[in-house]
């Protein structure tokens, strides 16, 4: 992982130093860091020469731009109507049971954060969830255990720092 | 069960056609006016849900004088129960790219964008590859046009066109006042044509086969075919291309599980139709003389008799309360009050007449909210409360 300040400079070089590059830059930082610290928002503001409050105002509007420290793997379980009809609660319970965390929390080893999200556009394969950018559909509690085990094993192989 | 239902399937969008290069080069050798006329006579209307005539949109933008114009493909597909645009972009990306470039040629834009919702980030690598190949061909035929992907970050409201521009400009996704409309002043204040993914895919069909082929499908005021995202209590969830104008009872006959109690047409911002109204409800744009016509972005969610409509409404209202941008009071406060209100009635803390007060609030929101989100909360709220009142109370 790059130092944040270097990453921000690099992103600004790539997308341009103007207001309409703000979202891609924020997304780039979240991609690596999983969240936006106050420090990185201030640095982005400095780099783009706009007020830090504007960066904060924009960042906090978007659900996928977290501004609280997150785990390496962010689980977002869809809770909108079809998924909720097809067993989203059982999925949540299976995850909570396995990781011993509740909605909005992060595991102690910093490997997982658990969140709910609105419609993922996968209603015909409900229930569905995202882990980072990966999509998982037709979920069952058994499948959850398999998927999460897979992510836990990646840790041993040192792959959890890449997407 | 009657056996003479008529659900007309169509197969244009996902048809595997490897001729985008030909469609592109042929189209840009025709005068822009001719292409616009083709679109106008096809009577294609926006497939995102609002149903604005596409040809008219292109025409207005083409007539505005400006050095810089933009074409934007709206792939911020966030309406609950809609998932067709994801499928189009992963199955037939070149049709969409071709349509974006043709639109650029018609209105005089050199830059196009695809605003892709954050939830669809996994589509990006393949889409980028397609764009590279596409731009390479554009250079070959000396068409000065580029396409970029702009990622969203999980905000339903950014599907609203002016909120989408705000988001692209690095701001909070808060809708603007209209007018001015995007055709005059859109992204960066420049004339912008913004079309839904599916709309663009249909223009490909129209430019390839001519407007008549498209116009011959569907019914008066609702021409052509449309993708439907079918989910909920159905034995065959998925994406289906059907001619517009079908009656809801035919639809339920095909997709229901013999126990369908209600269908939500158009997602959480659409209408809930109870079983007794299936036969008089048609799927298409307003203007039919008989029965009710419901426009839709293609979300069809079926509920059978095991579902509580209270839970359904509760889920929708939670969705809206979270996704409201909070800019205007009717929507920000209204969504929360409706949600609190149905809970209070359910628990017996408010009497049943409180539902009537909330119906009035929903009506006020329809009139006073700034954008389509706040204005359409009342659609599902009123149609559920009016048709399933007893389920709200007991």
Indicate whether A163 pLDDT > 50.
no
* Cβ distance of B231 and A26 shorter than 8 Å: no
pLDDT score at B50 = 84
For each of the domains in chain A, give its residue range(s) and CATH number, in order of start. 4-59 (no CATH), 73-156 (3.40.30.10)
Q: What is residue B92's predicted lDDT score, i.e. its pLDDT?
A: 97
Average pLDDT across chain A, whole number:
94
Nearest to B334 by CA among B371, B370, B356, B364: B364
pLDDT at B286 over 80: no
pTM, two decimal places: 0.95
Which of B116, B121, B323 best tests the A interface by mutation, with the highest count of A CBs <10 A? B121
pLDDT value of position B2: 41
All residues of chain A having their beta carbon less than 8 Å from the beta carbon of residue B311 are 84
- Give yes or no for residue B172 having a pLDDT over 50: yes
CATH 1.20.1440.230 given to domain B309-393 = yes
Measured in angstroms, the CA of B131 and the nearest CA of chain A are apart by: 18
Element (H, E) at A92: helix A88-99
Residues of chain A contacting residue B188, judged by C-beta atoms under 8 Å apart: 20
* Per-residue pLDDT reduced to its tens digit, B212-230: 999 999 988 889 999 999 9
Residue A70 in this model has a pLDDT that exceeds 90: yes
Q: Do B169 and A118 touch (CB under 8 A)?
A: no
- Quote the DSSP letter at residue A106: B
Looking at chain B, the whole-number percentage of residues with pLDDT higher than 90 is 91
Residue B289 has pLDDT above 60, yes or no: no
- Residue A162 confidence (pLDDT): 43
Q: Which of residues 106-165 of B touch A (CB under 8 A)?
A: 117-122, 150-156
CATH for the stretch B218-304: 3.10.20.600
Q: From the candidates B79, B88, B119, B310, which should be mutated to test the interface with A, based on the most A CB atoms within 10 A?
A: B119
Question: B20-215 adopts what CATH topology?
Answer: Rossmann fold (3.40.50)
CATH 1.20.1440.230 in chain B, residue ranges = 309-393
Tell me, what's the pLDDT at B293? 77
Q: What is the mean pLDDT of residues B324-330?
A: 96
Q: Does residue B382 or residue B1 have the better pLDDT?
A: B382
Q: Chain B closest CA to A99's CA: distance in Å?
A: 23
Mutating which of A25, A124, A129 best tests the B interface, going by the most B Cβ atoms within 10 A? A124
List CB contacts (< 8 A) between B238 and chain A. 124
A75 touches chain B (CB under 8 A): no
3-state secondary structure A40-87: HHHHHHHHHCCCHHHHHHHHCCCCCCCCCCCCCEEEEEECCHHHHHCC
Whether A158 has a pLDDT exceeding 70, the answer reads no
Beta carbon pairs, A and B, within 8 Å = 120
Q: How confident is the model at residue B292 (pLDDT cuts 50, 70, 90)?
A: confident
Are the CB atoms for B73 and B114 separated by under 8 Å? Answer: yes
Q: Give per-residue pLDDT as tens, B92-137.
A: 999 999 999 999 999 999 999 999 999 999 999 999 999 999 999 9
pLDDT digit string, tens, across residues A73-105: 999 999 999 999 999 999 999 999 999 999 999
pLDDT tens, residue by residue, A98-136: 999 999 999 999 999 999 999 999 999 999 999 999 999
CATH 3.10.20.600 segments of chain B: 218-304
B residues 178-217 closer than 8 Å to A (CB): 188
Q: Which residues in chain B are classed under CATH 3.40.50.11540?
A: 20-215
Work out the mean pLDDT of chain B and round it to a whole number.
94
pLDDT of residue B251: 96
- pLDDT for B295: 75
Section B33-53 average pLDDT: 94
User: Is pLDDT at B317 greater than 90 in this prediction?
Assistant: yes
pLDDT, tens digit, for every residue of B243-260?
999 999 999 999 999 999
> What is the value of ipTM here, to two decimals?
0.95
């Amino acid at each position: 992982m790059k130092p944040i300040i270097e990453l921000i400079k690099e992103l600004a070089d790539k997308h341009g130093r103007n207001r309409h590059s703000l979202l891609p830059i924020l997304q780039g930082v979240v991609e690596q860091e999983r969240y936006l610290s106050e420090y990185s928002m201030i640095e982005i503001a400095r780099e783009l020469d706009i007020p830090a409050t504007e960066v904060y105002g924009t960042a906090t509007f978007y659900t996928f731009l977290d501004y609280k420290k997150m785990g390496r793997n962010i689980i977002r379980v869809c809770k909108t109507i079809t998924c909720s009809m097809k067993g989203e609660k059982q999925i949540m319970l299976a995850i909570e049971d396995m990781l011993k965390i509740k909605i909005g929390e992060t595991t102690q080893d910093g490997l997982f954060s658990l969140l709910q999200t609105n419609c993922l556009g996968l209603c015909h394969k409900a229930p569905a969830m995202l882990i980072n950018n990966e999509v998982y559909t037709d979920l069952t509690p058994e499948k959850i255990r398999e998927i999460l085990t897979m992510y836990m094993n990646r840790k041993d192989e040192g792959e959890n720092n890449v997407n | 069960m009657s056996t003479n239902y008529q659900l007309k399937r169509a197969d244009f969008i996902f048809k595997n056609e490897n001729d985008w290069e030909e469609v592109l080069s042929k189209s840009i050798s025709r005068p822009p006016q001719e292409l616009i006329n083709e679109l106008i006579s096809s009577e294609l209307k926006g497939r995102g849900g609002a149903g604005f005539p596409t040809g008219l949109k292109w025409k207005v933008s083409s007539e505005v004088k400006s050095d810089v114009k933009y074409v934007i493909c709206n792939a911020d597909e966030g309406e609950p129960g809609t998932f067709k645009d994801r499928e189009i972009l992963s199955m037939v990306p070149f049709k969409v790219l071709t349509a974006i470039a043709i639109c650029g040629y018609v209105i005089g834009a050199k830059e196009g964008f695809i605003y892709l919702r954050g939830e669809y980030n996994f589509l990006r690598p393949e889409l980028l590859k397609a764009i590279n190949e596409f731009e390479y061909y554009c250079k070959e035929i000396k068409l000065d046009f580029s396409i970029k992907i702009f990622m969203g970050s999980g905000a339903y409201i950014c599907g609203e066109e002016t909120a989408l521009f705000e988001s692209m400009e690095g701001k909070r996704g808060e809708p603007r006042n209209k007018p001015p409309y995007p055709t005059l002043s859109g992204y960066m204040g420049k004339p912008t044509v913004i079309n839904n993914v599916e709309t663009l895919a249909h223009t490909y069909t129209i430019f390839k086969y001519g407007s008549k082929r498209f116009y011959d499908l569907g019914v008066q005021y609702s021409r052509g075919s449309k993708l439907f995202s079918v989910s909920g209590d159905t034995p065959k969830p998925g994406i289906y291309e059907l001619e517009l104008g079908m009656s809801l009872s035919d639809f339920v006959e095909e997709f229901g599980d013999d126990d369908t109690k209600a269908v939500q047409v158009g997602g959480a911002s659409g209408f809930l139709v109870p079983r007794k109204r299936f036969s008089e409800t048609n799927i298409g744009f307003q203007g039919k003389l008989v029965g009710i016509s419901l426009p839709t972005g293609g979300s069809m969610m079926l509920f059978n008799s095991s579902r509580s409509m209270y839970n359904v409404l509760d889920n929708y209202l939670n969705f809206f309360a979270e996704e409201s941008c909070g800019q205007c009071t009717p929507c920000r406060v209204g969504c929360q009050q409706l949600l609190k209100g149905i809970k209070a009635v359910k628990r017996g803390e408010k009497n049943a007449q409180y539902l009537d007060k909330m119906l009035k609030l929903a009506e006020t929101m329809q009139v006073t909210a700034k954008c389509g989100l706040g204005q359409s909360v009342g659609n599902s709220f009123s149609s559920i409360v009016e048709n399933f009142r007893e389920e709200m109370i007991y």
